[in-house]
Chains A and B, each alone.
Chain A
Amino acid sequence: MIEAVGLTKRYGAKTAVYNLSFQVRPGTVTGFLGPNGSGKSTTMRMILGLDAPSQGQVTIGGYPYRKLPNAPRQVGALLDAKAVHGGRHARNHLLCLAQLSGIPARRVDEVLGVVGLQDVARKRSKGFSLGMGQRLGIAAALLGDPQVLLFDEPVNGLDPEGILWVRNLMKSLAAEGRTVFVSSHLMSEMALTAEHLIVIGRGQLLADMSVTDFISANSADFARVRTPETEPQQREKLTAALTEAGGQVLPEQDGALRVMGLPLPRISDLAHGADVRLWELSPHQASLEEAYMRMTQGAVDYRSTVDQRAGLQQQLPPGAVPQPQPPVPGQGQPNWYAPPSPQQGGQPFAMPQGAPAAPPAPADANPYAAAPQAPAAAPSPAEHATDNTGTTDNKDAPR
């Protein structure tokens, strides 16, 4: 078990990790998420005793890492697939690590087989692809048959077969009762692998909960509605009708509408009532990615802007109007991934079977009355994150 208490790391004036407390439990795969630069790797390095915390402490099975009598037999880690001497054979690399903790050489051949590198065991790791490097790193982590495993971005550069293998490996390691702590940026992968999540942003703990709780707490389902493209006035009409009925409507790039706060049958009824034909009416289940994006959007340090290519363009002749660029989904649109949370931002979209429960008993008119200002007034539980809610126009200035 990994236990961090008040973990803080400062590099000069910059605080990389601040007052982080969490526990990673055995028997489950725990995902470790956060935007770039949020302190994931720093935390991992502190767990492994490579960096000394400025404050607080982190222990593994009750011991600080550097006090473990034979660390590789208790903790295996893959920090960086490129953290090998490229001039050394894969086998020699593992052998010198094995010798460091008294592991017999035949175990080296064993783990080489486990990760599928037995054919390149005598090749210098300099020539390895990223995926092969990851496999070598995983082999090093498995070498000591440890109780606790840490993986930093283990599926980076792996082929689909390798990703599947890593996913199953993580699950089987956890099923054996080991503590498995994995950081990754691949949300779809995390949703499949992890059962528990620890999310940090700007070095602070944002969430420590199970994946299902995380998704339901940080996102809402919505309906996608499409009206005939030939008749844009129908779209306006439907938007008005849905908004009036208490729904929250956001236009999507391809002309569809994103409707929150209304169950599917009700949307259909409203459209019928407004005499609008529908080309599409589909439910959309929130994914871990959306939940993650919503939670971390306020904690993202490195945000991309729309590429205006202004530096390459020739000076336009006076009077010429530059061609407006179609906005790219997600870019410069803070709320793209962020349907309002079920708690505050109006009612979540509910599936038909949930419909009776979703509108609270006294609230048949109530949410409808409150709804029009709800999107603007109650953006989210993480208010700091969404200071310009509802704007879907192209804002390329990062906040």
Chain B
Amino acid sequence: MTTPPTPQQPQAQPQQPQAPHAPAPAPQPQGAYAGAVAAPQGPPAMVPAPPPAPAAPAPPSAWQQAMNNAYTSPIPVTKTNIGHALASEWTKIKSVRSTVWTLSIFLILVIGIGLLAVANTQSDDYQDVPFTVPAFFGLMLGQICLITLGVLVTSSEYGTGMIRTTFTASPQRYRVLAAKALIFFVVAFVASAGSILLVGLMASGAHSGPEAGDIPWAGSVFKGALYVSLLGVLALAVGSMLRHSAGAITTMLGVVLVPAILPGFLNIWESTAKLGDKMADYNAINSLAKIFRIDGIDSSSTGNSQLVLLVVITAAAVAGAFALLEKRDV
């Protein structure tokens, strides 16, 4: 038994320090060995056997022996956390062309239309609106790009089948979705806030004459970027629930456009006029207009309630996406 089969050696050795408790020197290693493999028929077989080496490997069934042989990677296994998922999602989002396309179109729309607007306005146009208003026009169109990107971040994985690879690599699905939402939100927020800020700086640089009212505009940068980024996160959640790019993008376009169109019809009838008014107040385009104080700085609507509504809807959609994610088969 001094030379046990090599595979068992690492198993048997830790036991040997305990071996001196046994009375006879000869069966010592046997006992240690039997304890190590816990073979059911081991002990009776070993009592009479003076040459334990050939007898010992026999009792453990072939596969039990194989279990002891089982491969273990020399590289230590670390426990994973959300940080790993974030790094992975960051690699993912920056390594596909859809991100590049949607974001560049978004930037072109917001900055391009914004600069056009800056060029065609006078200082007195900014008397009671913030300098970020030129960004609003581009943002109305640009939000569709962020919606598309948000949908694609999740649904493209389902469309290509990548999701099975992803969830095999990280069976903690909630972590993947959380990382996706977080990374997307940061990307969308940085892109939109940056572009709004740029347009605002241009406008204030070009039109900071005495006619322009000195209206604070930092809030509209933050809230405007937050609003479109949340729309994108909502799209991401919808994409995760519907798992289909075209379906999710269409759904999101409906969410954005239908409440802007419907009030025209709803206001025809008295019974639905109230609903129509609410829709007109809270649809995505009008909400952005309120955030950018298009109605003038003295108007009572600051867009805060619209922002809160979107936060609530997005939170509900994200919660739904998480619930479905854990439940459904991939």
Contact = CB atoms under 8 A, between A and B. Distances in A.
Contacts of A97: 88, 165-166, 169
B236 to A, nearest CB: 16
Interface stretch (A42-50, A296-304, A347-355, A390-398): A42-50
Nearest to B72: A147
B79, B85, B88: residue with the most chain A Cβ atoms closer than 10 Å? B88
Interface residues of B, number: 43
Contact of B77 (A49, A74, A89): A74
Contact of B70 (A65, A88, A179): A179
Contacts of B80: 69-70, 100-102
Given A66-B172, A70-B79, A27 B66 contact: yes
Contacts of A88: 92, 95-96
| Highest count of chain A CB atoms <10 Å: which of B67, B72, B74, B91 | B91
Contacts of B169: 71-72, 97, 100-101, 140
B87 A99 contact: yes
B162 A27 contact: no
Interface in B170-189: 170-172, 176
Contacts of A176: 71
A147 B96 contact: no
A50 B89 CA distance: 20
Contacts of B157: 85
Grouping DSSP codes into helix (H, G, I), strand (E, B) and loop, the B interface class, with mixed when no group exceeds half, is helix
B272 interface: no
A49 B171 contact: yes
B91 A70 contact: no
A25 B63 contact: yes
B92 A49 contact: no
Nearest to A101: B80
Contact of B161 (A28, A71, A83): A83
A360 interface: no
Contacts of A102: 78, 80, 84
A179 B67 CA distance: 10
B165 A79 contact: yes
Contacts of B329: 45, 50-52
Interface in A86-106: 86-89, 92, 95-97, 99-102
A303 B73 CA distance: 44
A48 B69 CA distance: 23
Given A27-B70, A73-B77, A96 B161 contact: no
Contacts of B78: 70, 73, 102
B75 interface: yes
A102 B75 CA distance: 11
A99 B91 contact: yes
A378 B154 CA distance: 57
Contacts of B95: 88-89, 92, 96
Contact of B73 (A26, A51, A71, A146): A146
A66 B171 contact: yes
Contact of A50 (B77, B168, B172): B168
Nearest to A74: B77
A51 B330 contact: yes
B164 A83 contact: yes
A96 B92 contact: yes
19 contacts: A23-B63, A26-B66, A27-B63, A49-B168, A70-B78, A72-B170, A73-B75, A77-B168, A82-B160, A83-B165, A84-B165, A88-B92, A95-B91, A100-B88, A100-B170, A101-B80, A102-B78, A144-B73, A177-B66
